[in-house]
């Protein structure tokens, strides 16, 4: 199978690399201390590069990128250990809005004029995303949501509601009680209680929601692939420089064997992401989240292994916030649980027809 990139894909990846540049730990810390843990000005830069419009269909004013295109962007952002919540506050809200036919919101999200957070998880339900208890009555919502990533930044909340509906709730709407908390990768999430909160309701057909779940899982896998690549590269460079017993520790056979295992896992993960992305157009809606779940479980295991090896080979400093690998591993730990941990995703994959 040919995994070579075409010219446009290569240019996009190079553009993202230039935009991100080397990992700037000091700038990262400064941004995390800002309100909401991120900068809306930087989000507008992400939008101006077309990285949000890539996820929007052409019929709604977007670029209409393929799943391969989106996976390559996610991988490039992972490689740069990007601080930008492109997946959780960019692609997924756009995909959900498009699934409901809300073209106006899609345009606002793709242009960066609005930023949305998706509220899909509910307390006590773990990864059973489709089992929604939040209800709508006379265009008012009652229920609770948790793990709402980027909620402190959001202008709009997109809330999954029982009976295959999606609700659009404005920031600061009456009846919305939000409790913010820090997440492992340094970003912010929230638990949200809805007490007859006014909302605009849209139909969200189950088949289209399943497609969005699959997209989320595969793009999380793609970002983990990029993060794993950076952790591997940084570790390979470090063991070539670190001296012990009069020699670079990279010359020790035990470390060489472990690094070879990491490299093999990395390349297998890359093949898994690209192969699964290529299956997107030919996979039906019901099976897509299951196929993507298999890829996410496989890549999550590989990225976690590489991250733990990277930390161990660096020693104690590998766990600090002064090195990129610490930030990368924390992001992997978040993405590995996003829309299902490895066990849940493997069970989902086992149900693929």
Res 16: pLDDT: 96
Superfamily for 207-350? Butyryl-CoA Dehydrogenase, subunit A, domain 3 (1.20.140.10)
Within a 13 Å sphere around the CA of 261, how many CA atoms are in the beta-carbon half? 15
Confidence band, pLDDT 50/70/90 cuts, at residue 18: very high
Taking residues 81-88, report their average pLDDT: 97
| Residue 136: predicted pLDDT | 95
Domain boundaries, the chain: 7-114, 117-204, 207-350
- Percent of the chain scoring above 70 in pLDDT: 99
| Residue pair 128/177 in contact by the 8 Å Cβ criterion | no
Q: What's the pTM value of the predicted model, to 2 decimals?
A: 0.96
CB-hemisphere CA count at 13 Å for 22?
Answer: 5
* Confidence (pLDDT) at 128: 87
pLDDT (mean) for 38-49: 96
pLDDT digits (tens, 9 = 90+) for 133-184: 999 999 999 999 999 999 999 999 999 999 999 999 998 899 999 999 999 9
Q: For the domain bounded by 7-114, which CATH number is listed? A: 1.10.540.10
In this structure, CATH architecture of domain 117-204: Beta Barrel (2.40)
Q: Which pLDDT does position 7 carry in this prediction?
A: 86
Residues 300-329 pLDDT 10s: 999 999 999 999 999 888 888 899 999 999
pLDDT in tens, 99-131: 999 999 999 999 999 999 999 999 988 888 888
- Asked if pLDDT for residue 5 goes beyond 80, the answer is no
CA distances from 315 to 29, 227, 309, 312 (A): 22, 19, 10, 5
Residue 2 pLDDT greater than 70, yes or no: no
User: Which residues are CB-neighbours of 28 under 8 A, at least 6 positions away?
Assistant: 83, 186, 327
């Amino acid at each position: 199978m040919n995994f070579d990139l075409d010219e446009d894909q290569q240019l996009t990846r190079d553009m993202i690399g230039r935009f991100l540049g080397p990992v700037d730990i000091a700038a990262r810390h400064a941004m995390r201390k800002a309100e909401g843990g991120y900068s809306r000005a930087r989000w507008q830069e992400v939008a101006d590069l077309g990285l949000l419009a890539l996820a929007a269909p052409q019929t709604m004013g977007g670029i209409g990128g393929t799943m391969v295109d989106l996976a390559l962007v996610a991988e490039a952002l992972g490689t740069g250990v990007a601080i930008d919540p492109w997946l959780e506050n960019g692609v997924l809200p756009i995909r959900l809005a498009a699934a409901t036919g809300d073209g106006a919101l899609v345009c606002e999200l793709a242009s960066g004029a609005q930023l949305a957070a998706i509220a899909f998880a509910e307390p006590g339900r773990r990864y059973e995303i489709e089992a929604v208890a939040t209800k709508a009555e006379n265009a008012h919502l009652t229920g609770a949501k948790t793990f709402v990533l980027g909620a402190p930044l959001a202008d709009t909340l997109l809330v999954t509601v029982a009976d295959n509906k999606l609700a659009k709730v404005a920031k600061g709407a009456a009846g919305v009680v939000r409790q913010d908390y820090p997440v492992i990768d340094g970003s912010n999430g929230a638990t949200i209680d809805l007490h007859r909160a006014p909302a605009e309701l849209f139909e969200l057909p189950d088949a289209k929601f399943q497609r969005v779940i699959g997209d989320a899982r595969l793009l999380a896998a793609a970002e983990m692939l990029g993060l794993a690549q950076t952790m591997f590269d940084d570790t390979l460079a470090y063991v070539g420089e670190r001296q012990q017993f009069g020699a670079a520790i990279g010359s020790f056979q035990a470390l060489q064997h472990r690094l070879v295992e990491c490299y093999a896992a990395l390349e297998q993960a890359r093949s898994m992401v690209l192969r699964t992305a290529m299956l997107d157009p030919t996979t039906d809606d019901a099976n897509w989240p299951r196929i993507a779940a298999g890829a996410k479980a496989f890549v999550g295991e590989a990225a976690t292994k590489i991250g733990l090896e990277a930390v161990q080979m660096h020693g104690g400093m590998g766990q600090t916030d002064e090195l990129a690998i610490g930030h990368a591993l924390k992001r992997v730990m978040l993405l590995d649980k996003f829309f299902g941990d490895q066990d849940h995703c493997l069970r989902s994959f086992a149900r693929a027809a």
